[in-house]
Amino acid sequence: MKKILLTGAAGDVGRRITPMLKAAYPGLVLSDLKAPADTHGLKFVKADIANFAETAAAVAGIDGIVHLGGYSVEGPWESILNANIVGCYNLFEAARAAGVKRVIFASSNHAVGFYPRSTTIPHDVTVLPDSRYGVSKAFGEALGAMYAMKHGMGVTCLRIGNVNETPLDMRRMAIMLHPEDLVQLIRIGLDHPDIVFEVLYGASANTRAWWDNSRAKALGYRPKHDSEGQLAAAKTGQAAIPAEPIGDFYQGGTFASAEYTANFAVLKGWKAPLRP
């Protein structure tokens, strides 16, 4: 992979990983609605992924894409639709037309956010989105699978937890993804010779993990970080957050509890069938 496009480059995650990606891929190109404060001397292409022509212009001449762009939190359906559904389709279709070989799709833990925290889940579980945002990420995974199987594009979907060097609360003790470990996962998706279509968890080697990331390890993932060493910081952050029975039960946290109208007493006893 000589020329890599990073969408969503001006966002928090994009800013954190740009220097490391530049070191690995000197031909890195940045794209977003606005330029990052620091482009690190890299080419920047302004593009709104909801606009197909702008997306196609950004993708032209690219070998691989790290797709972080889109609406990154829960929001109104129209916002999610334009950025994460239409925008995601535009990205994959422009990539196909341009002959892009690999795409890393930034999925999310919220695609499976309605699994209880007491359950360890593998990568091939049934999606249980906890929000409109989570639905859009499940859509992106399905779209990536189609482009991989129908068009031969190597696609890796990363169900990212929380990208940070420090877990901000007890929930993020389980899902913290250190930026260095994220870059390692991205490099597997871009460079591993056997990639066809993969769904991997974007998490460091956290002692309290809820996810079985053995598939990523089979592809060579060796995370360097574990949130356990920062338990005190997580407890301090947690102390400032009010207890909430629904959000504290599900892996998706407040994404699961927001707008919740179901009978929690009934549903918390339901167990999704896990594959053997």
CB 65 within 8 A of CB 102: yes
115 noted as active-site residue: no
Torsion angle of alpha carbons 79, 85, 87, 90, nearest 10°? -160
**Residue 176 pLDDT > 80, yes or no?**
yes
Domain spans of the chain, in order of start: 4-267
- Which CATH number, 3.90.45.10, 3.90.230.10, 3.30.470.20, 3.40.50.720, labels domain 4-267? 3.40.50.720
Cα–Cα dist 189/194, whole Å? 9
pLDDT digits (tens, 9 = 90+) for 182-241: 999 999 999 999 999 999 999 999 999 999 999 999 999 999 999 999 999 999 999 999
Is the pTM of the predicted complex or chain greater than 0.85? yes
> What are residue 197's DSSP bridge partners?
155
The model's pLDDT over 138-165, given as tens digits with 9 standing for 90+, comes to: 999 999 999 999 999 999 999 999 999 9
Catalytic residue among 133, 147, 201, 250: 133
The pLDDT of residue 274 is above 80? no
Measure the CA–CA gap between 143 and 150, rounded to whole angstroms: 10
Buried b (16+ CB within 10 A) or exposed e, 110-129: bbbbbbebeeebebebebbb
